């Protein structure tokens, strides 16, 4: 039997009133594989522990198969948890570790048939008589997973189970976990800060920051249709290019987005999404371009919906099957401060404004911070030169483009680029997406 899990406006606070989870609402369908994704310390594990009954819920409701379960003890929830640090008993063999919860649940029953069946499923029959100290990290994690699987629980709760393993073993076990959960059909909630794990495992991905749910959707949805700049920047390798732009929308001319020394000209007639930019006339925005949204080609080879740029090669990363080219286009990168931090920290000016502002302004400012945090640094005009006094750490160039390894590109070359406006994201100064292109998810046949 598998289980439906629902969280309705759930909150959790620790010392000094700091909310580590803030009004979280999620519905997890029976048999679904949901991944909780976000930077370390954002509240993912706390959510998992509240579902398991290891943490009390301060506010809100937990429903299991539609029944109110806030007060249910962990034993009544029929869930199995896989921890980051394996949590095996060092004085027990693998067989005893896997069979231990079975002996607790049914003291008079023989656990050996279920232990043997689980070991065959995981391919660890030859490890059953070994102790944890005699096992490698991957073998220990398989035994820990076997202990959870043998119970036949209604839900699996996995708290970063692969983070202590090397990259090659992580990839292998990731595929095993995906196959096992699909075969068993058990509801699974998986916590990770690794977006590659989240994208490859989850039926849906829920992105958290500062205990606040930023977006939930399929891996393709959160990648292709990010709700705000935090989601766009957190998901994707290499990280999305974020550039400071200035919208120019004259009544008698074409609308453009200035990127400093160059600009993107939006083709006429404007799409429904691009028309939304008219209200941003004269305002600074954040332009988001993933590395595959820009290609190296002559401007005369532009396809419908592509506009030209020119870039100066500053650095080339050889990846084997592809290369990542860092270009300098004369643009100013938009900064996402503390992207990997557990929760946004307002700056000194923001704190002063909160002290001096009205109650309503403080509530509005707090709501904006909860949605996406302080997202960008826009302290200078987009056309201005940031100057040599900037202390912000900077990667080579301002635009990373993914291309094939057969191109011979060297430092200092001036290269023509074409930007696909169908994959252009535009965010406001609070990090909320203004222009929701692409209007649909890309088709697999395209």
How confident is the model over 339-388, as pLDDT tens digits?
Answer: 656 565 554 444 444 444 555 544 544 444 444 444 454 444 444 444 44
314 phi, psi to nearest 5 deg: -115, -25
Which range marks the domain in which residue 240 is found?
Answer: 236-336+375-386+393-435
Same domain as 210, residue 129: yes
* Kind plus residue range of the DSSP H or E element containing 114: helix 112-122
The total of structural domains in the chain comes to 2
Same domain as 166, residue 22: yes
| Averaged pLDDT, 287-295 | 93
The predicted pLDDT at position 388 comes to: 40
Domain CATH for 304? 2.40.50.140
The predicted pLDDT at position 438 comes to: 55
C-alpha distance from residue 236 to each of 51, 64, 104, 375 (Å): 28, 33, 44, 17
Q: Whole-prediction pTM value?
A: 0.83
Write the CB contacts of 240 (distance below 8 Å, at least 6 apart in sequence): 232, 233, 288, 289, 290, 291, 425
Does a structural domain hold residue 229?
Answer: no
Same domain as 218, residue 78: yes
How confident is the model over 111-127, as pLDDT tens digits?
Answer: 999 999 999 888 899 99
Give the residue from 31, 36, 32, 69 showing the smallest Cα distance to 53: 69
pLDDT of residue 315 exceeding 70: yes
Does a structural domain hold residue 363?
Answer: no
Does a structural domain hold residue 346?
Answer: no
| Averaged pLDDT, 171-191 | 88
Same domain as 171, residue 23: yes
The predicted pLDDT at position 129 comes to: 93
The predicted pLDDT at position 283 comes to: 86
Q: In what order do the strands lie in the sheet with 306-318?
A: 294-296, 414-420, 306-318, 323-328, 399-403
| Averaged pLDDT, 157-170 | 84
The predicted pLDDT at position 413 comes to: 92
Contact 243, 334 (CB under 8 A): yes
How many residues make up the chain in this entry? 446
Q: Lowest mean pLDDT: which of 18-32, 251-265, 295-309?
A: 251-265
CB atoms within 10 A of CB 191: 26
Instruction: Give the integer Cα–Cα distance in Å for 11 and 439.
Output: 33
Contact 215, 222 (CB under 8 A): yes
Q: Lowest mean pLDDT: which of 287-291, 359-363, 429-433?
A: 359-363
The predicted pLDDT at position 231 comes to: 93
How confident is the model over 201-232, as pLDDT tens digits?
Answer: 999 999 999 899 999 999 999 999 999 999 99
Same domain as 173, residue 203: yes
Q: Lowest mean pLDDT: which of 18-22, 160-164, 245-249?
A: 160-164
Sign of CA dihedral 74, 75, 78, 82: positive
Does a structural domain hold residue 369?
Answer: no
DSSP letter assigned to residue 411: T
Domain CATH for 191? 3.40.50.300
The predicted pLDDT at position 72 comes to: 95
Q: Lowest mean pLDDT: which of 10-19, 252-261, 305-314, 340-349?
A: 340-349
Same domain as 65, residue 157: yes
Q: Lowest mean pLDDT: which of 131-145, 164-178, 302-316?
A: 164-178
Does a structural domain hold residue 319?
Answer: yes
CB atoms within 10 A of CB 428: 18
Does a structural domain hold residue 74?
Answer: yes
Give the residue from 420, 424, 427 showing the smallest Cα distance to 438: 424
Same domain as 258, residue 220: no
Please report, rounded to a whole number, the percentage of residues in the chain having pLDDT higher than 70: 84
pLDDT band at 128 (very low <50, low <70, confident <90, very high): very high
Instruction: Give the integer Cα–Cα distance in Å for 177 and 197.
Output: 11
Give the residue from 155, 197, 147 showing the smallest Cα distance to 51: 155
Same domain as 203, residue 261: no
C-alpha distance from residue 135 to each of 81, 85, 245, 350 (Å): 20, 14, 54, 52
The predicted pLDDT at position 436 comes to: 65
């Amino acid at each position: 039997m598998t289980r439906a899990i629902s969280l309705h406006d759930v909150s959790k606070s620790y010392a000094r009133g700091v909310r580590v989870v803030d009004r979280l609402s999620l519905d997890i369908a029976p048999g679904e594989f949901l991944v909780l994704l976000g930077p370390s310390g954002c509240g993912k594990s706390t959510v998992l522990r509240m579902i398991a009954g290891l943490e009390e819920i301060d506010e809100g409701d937990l429903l299991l198969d539609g029944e109110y379960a806030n007060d249910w003890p962990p034993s009544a929830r029929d869930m199995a948890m896989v921890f980051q640090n394996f949590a095996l008993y060092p004085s027990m063999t693998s067989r005893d570790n896997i069979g231990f919860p079975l002996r607790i649940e049914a003291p008079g029953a023989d656990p050996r048939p279920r232990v043997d069946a689980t070991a065959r499923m995981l391919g660890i029959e030859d490890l059953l008589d070994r102790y944890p100290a005699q096992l490698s990290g991957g073998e220990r994690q398989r035994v820990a997973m076997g202990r959870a699987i043998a119970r036949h629980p209604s839900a699996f709760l996995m708290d970063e189970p692969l983070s202590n393993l090397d990259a090659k073993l992580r990839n292998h076990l990731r595929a095993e976990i995906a196959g096992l959960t699909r075969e068993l059909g058990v509801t699974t909630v998986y916590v990770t800060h690794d977006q590659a794990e989240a994208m490859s495992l989850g039926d849906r991905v829920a992105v958290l920051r500062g205990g606040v749910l930023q977006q939930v959707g399929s891996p393709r949805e959160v990648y292709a249709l990010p709700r705000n700049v935090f989601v766009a920047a957190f998901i994707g390798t290499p990280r999305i290019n974020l550039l400071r732009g200035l919208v120019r929308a004259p009544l008698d001319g074409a609308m453009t987005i200035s990127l400093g020394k160059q600009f993107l000209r939006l083709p006429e007639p404007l799409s429904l999404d691009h028309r939304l930019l008219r209200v941003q006339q004269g305002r600074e925005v954040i332009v988001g371009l993933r590395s595959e949204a820009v290609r190296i080609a002559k401007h005369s080879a532009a396809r419908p919906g592509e506009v030209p740029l020119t870039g100066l090669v500053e650095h080339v990363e050889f990846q084997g099957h592809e290369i990542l080219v860092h270009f300098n286009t004369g643009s100013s990168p938009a900064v996402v401060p503390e992207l990997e931090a557990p929760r946004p920290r307002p700056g000194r000016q923001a704190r002063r404004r909160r002290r001096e502002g009205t109650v309503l302004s403080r509530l509005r400012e707090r709501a904006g911070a909860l949605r996406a945090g302080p997202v960008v640094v826009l302290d200078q005009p987009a056309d201005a030169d940031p100057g040599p006094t900037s202390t912000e750490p900077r990667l080579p160039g301002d635009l990373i483009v993914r291309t094939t390894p057969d191109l011979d590109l060297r430092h200092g070359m001036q290269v023509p680029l074409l930007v696909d406006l169908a994959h252009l994201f535009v965010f406001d100064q609070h990090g909320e997406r203004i222009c929701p292109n692409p209007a649909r998810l890309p088709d697999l046949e395209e």
